[in-house]
Amino acid sequence: MSYALEIEGLEKVYANGLQALKGIDLRVAQGDFFALLGPNGAGKSTTIGVICSLVNKTAGTVRVNDVDIDEDFPRAKRHLGVVPQEFNFNVFESVEDILIHQAGYYGIPLKIARERIDTYLAKLGLTDKRHTRARMLSGGMKRRLMIARALIHEPSVLILDEPTAGVDIEMRRSMYDFLREINAAGTTIILTTHYLEEAESLCRNIAIINHGEIVTNTSIKNLLRELHRETFILDSRRALPDELTVSGFELTRIDDYCLEAHIEQGQDLAELMSQLHGQGISILSMRNRENRLEQMFVSLLEQAS
Residues that bind other proteins (CB under 8 A): 14-15, 49, 52-56, 73-75, 77-78, 80, 82, 84, 86-91, 97, 100-109, 149
Q: How far is the CB of 275 from other proteins (least distance, A)?
A: 59
The DSSP code for 240 is: P
Q: Decide the pairing of beta strands 33-37 and 59-64.
A: unpaired
Q: Which strand (E) or helix (H) includes residue 222? A: helix 220-225
Q: How far is the CB of 253 from other proteins (least distance, A)?
A: 53
CA distances from 266 to 126, 220, 248, 298 (A): 49, 20, 12, 22
Closer residue to other proteins (CB): 83 or 220: 83
| Strands of the sheet with 19-29, listed across from one edge | 19-29, 3-13, 59-64, 67-68
Q: How far is the CB of 269 from other proteins (least distance, A)?
A: 49
Closer residue to other proteins (CB): 55 or 182: 55
Closer residue to other proteins (CB): 106 or 232: 106
Closer residue to other proteins (CB): 117 or 171: 117
Closer residue to other proteins (CB): 15 or 185: 15
Q: How far is the CB of 148 from other proteins (least distance, A)?
A: 13
Give DSSP secondary structure letters for 119-178. HHHHHTT-GGGTTSBGGGS-HHHHHHHHHHHHHTT--SEEEEESTTTT--HHHHHHHHHH
Q: How far is the CB of 96 from other proteins (least distance, A)?
A: 12
Q: How far is the CB of 146 from other proteins (least distance, A)?
A: 10
Closer residue to other proteins (CB): 52 or 196: 52
Would you say the C-alpha torsion 137, 143, 148, 153 has a positive or negative sign? positive
User: What is the C-alpha to C-alpha distance for residues 129 and 140, in angstroms, rounded to an integer?
Assistant: 13
